[in-house]
Amino acid sequence: MAATDFIVAIELGSTDISGIAGKKNADGSINILAYSSEKSDDCIKKGVIYNLDKTTQKLTSIIKDLETKLQAGIKKVYIGVGGLSLRSIKNTETRQLGDDTRISQAIIDSMMEANIETPLLDYEILAVEPQEYKVGNNLLTEPVGTTASSIEGNYLNIIARPSVKQNIKQCLSHTGYEIAGFTISPMATADTVLTTNEKRSGCALIDLGADTTTVAIYKNNILRHVCVIPLGGNNITKDICSKQIEEDDAELIKLRYASAYTEYKEGEEVQDTEYAIDGKCSIMSRTLEDIVEARVNEIITNVFNQIKLSNYSDGLMAGIVVTGGVSNMPNIDKAITNITKIEKVRVAHTGEINLTGKINLPKNGKSNTLVGILLSGEENCCRVDPKRGHQFDFNDDSKSQETEDNTIIENSADNDTVNVEEETVTVDVIDYTKECHKLVIEASQLILSRSYTDALEVLAKAKEMNVEAKAREIDSLEKEAKRLLDEAERVKAIKEAQLQAEKQKEKQRKEVCDKLLEEAVELIDREKYKTAKEKLDAARKYNIPECNLIIEDLEEKIIKSQKNKKRSIFDRIKQGMSKASEEFFDGIK
């Protein structure tokens, strides 16, 4: 029997592009319905698409394969965003309020909007993770309802180059499938791999991939830092290739013989064994050990630097959790402890989510992100026929189906025709209800995204449908949208008033500064340089850019004038001495 309700997730990895279809169960588990993957090393590097055509072809092939296994059509997919340019930056937004002002959701929303509008050069904000809000002297995660005269919001912005999402959108548009939503890949991995206690106590999640290594720091259930390091398992393979070994053979040697850390007992005699691959190539064990450990240590050192940069290195009570393909390398946990001195290291080959169904995903750490992307999905990705109220049969031709339907109607008796008409009317009512439900969901999403005016327009359309079952929900949403719109407009008016007040204040400061400069010019003309400098120092405190330039010019003028004055005095003294000398000699004569 074909599936009719499922979520589809796609992960764009440097080694594989993977797709999965599944259904979330009420108990939190996921029923895996289909899985498909294709190699991607010829179209994706460092987690970033570089060949659009090949990526499009592979995406199409994977989604078609999922459709075949599901026996159902797919309309849209959720897709993970990661790759080399992904990283986090911090930002702070402050609001000065009246005494004992109640912090409303509208104030929090306006601060978030200001944060999102932060200008970034060559980057765009993909997601925002609010940190704590400083309300008075208190740090709160939920400040709404408290009172204060000021509030400071701290935000972690997840950013990447615009081309990352643009390339994904372009590829999906060519496949004919829609994008249901984007998910930040490191956050998806964390939701699958980390326990609630680990997120709360503080831990570093390390995803050791083929081309990149991703570091995500959590503390108090909040993402604190994320970064992608351009080093991974493929770097180890290439290092082995430097010993005149083909890349495929080097990969086999790594998977079969490599260890991330080797510890020898004091006085132990170490044998240098030869490792061979089907008689084609070989490498000595000590040489392989040196190559692998050197690169692993470099990767972990870079990871540890990111942990220290996050300023949470001393607060990781749950230690380090490592996943990804390279996490399968023996002794990877010992290698991490050796570099970081963090004793608590957990290797996560599978996630914390219970997976059911007949499909067995690879239990090697490579599927955790894919499961996390599916976990983030909310919308049904099945392609549904709006006229018939159920899924498309993706093997049928729509025209032949229409012909079949017409033949049935033409061959029916009169009473059968009446029945068909009655059924058609019933379906129309159901579809009308579904359309209304769709508009209500759209309005809810618009309210969440703070597009209150658009939400009210959508609700007006839904109200015109007169669907009784949705009337109460529509009224409730309409009241909420109006309330939030009024609050937003009130906050906007306050912001505009504050802006005007700031402009007026700035104008007054400029006038005072100009007055000081005028007085300084007059004092310079009267050769009152000391007093003039005092006026210039007072003007500099206003820190007005255009005034600062004038201040610099006037200070240079004072220095030159003082030099000229000293030279003039010296010339007069010299002239006076010459005259006195002449008189002296005239007296002798």
Neighbour-count burial of 58, counting CB atoms closer than 10 A to its CB (0-12 exposed, 13-18 middle, 19+ buried): buried
3-class secondary structure, 296: helix
Strand-pairing partners, residue 133, are 140, 153
Concatenated DSSP letters for 164-197? HHHHHHHHHHHHT-EEEEEEEHHHHHHHHH--HH
- The sheet carrying 147-160 orders its strands as 138-140, 124-135, 147-160, 87-102, 222-229, 213-219, 203-208, 320-323, 345-347
Phi and psi, residue 227, nearest 5°: -155, 150
> What count of residues does the chain have?
589
Burial 226-242 (b: 16+ CB within 10 A, else e): bbbbebbbbbbbebbbe
The pair of three-digit structure tokens given for residue 33, joined into one six-digit string? 């319905």
Here the contacts of 564-573 (C-beta below 8 Å, separation 24 or greater) are 565/527
Neighbour-count burial of 312, counting CB atoms closer than 10 A to its CB (0-12 exposed, 13-18 middle, 19+ buried): middle
Q: What is the pLDDT of residue 578?
A: 59
**Helix (H) and strand (E) counts for the chain?**
16, 21
| Tokens 């610099």 found at | 552
Mean pLDDT by 10 residues, the chain (589 residues): 84 95 93 95 93 96 95 95 94 90 92 92 94 92 93 96 94 94 96 96 96 97 96 96 94 95 79 86 94 96 95 95 95 96 95 90 90 95 66 47 41 40 37 74 80 89 80 83 85 83 86 90 88 90 86 87 70 61 57
Measured CA distances, 38 to 41, 59, 281, 363, 369 (Å)? 10, 9, 28, 17, 16
30-39 vs 16-24, strand pairing mode: antiparallel
Q: What is the pLDDT of residue 498?
A: 82
Q: What is the pLDDT of residue 200?
A: 96
Q: What is the pLDDT of residue 587?
A: 59
3-class secondary structure, 283: strand
Q: What is the pLDDT of residue 556?
A: 85
Collect all residues with Cβ–Cβ distance below 8 Å to 498 and sequence separation of at least 6: 96
3-class secondary structure, 227: strand
Strand-pairing partners, residue 38, are 17
Q: How far apart are CA 33 and CA 69, in angstroms?
A: 8
pTM for the model: 0.66
Sorted by where each starts, the structural domains of the chain and their CATH numbers stand as 7-83+165-184+354-376 (3.30.420.40), 87-160 (3.30.1490.110), 201-221+230-262+272-347 (3.30.420.40), 467-589 (no CATH)
Please say whether the beta carbons of 157 and 115 come within 8 A: yes
Neighbour-count burial of 520, counting CB atoms closer than 10 A to its CB (0-12 exposed, 13-18 middle, 19+ buried): buried
Q: What is the pLDDT of residue 55?
A: 96
Determine which helix (DSSP H) or strand (DSSP E) holds 341, and give its type and residue range: none
Helices (H), 392-528: 398-410, 414-448, 452-464, 468-525
Q: How far apart are CA 32 and CA 355, in angstroms?
A: 7
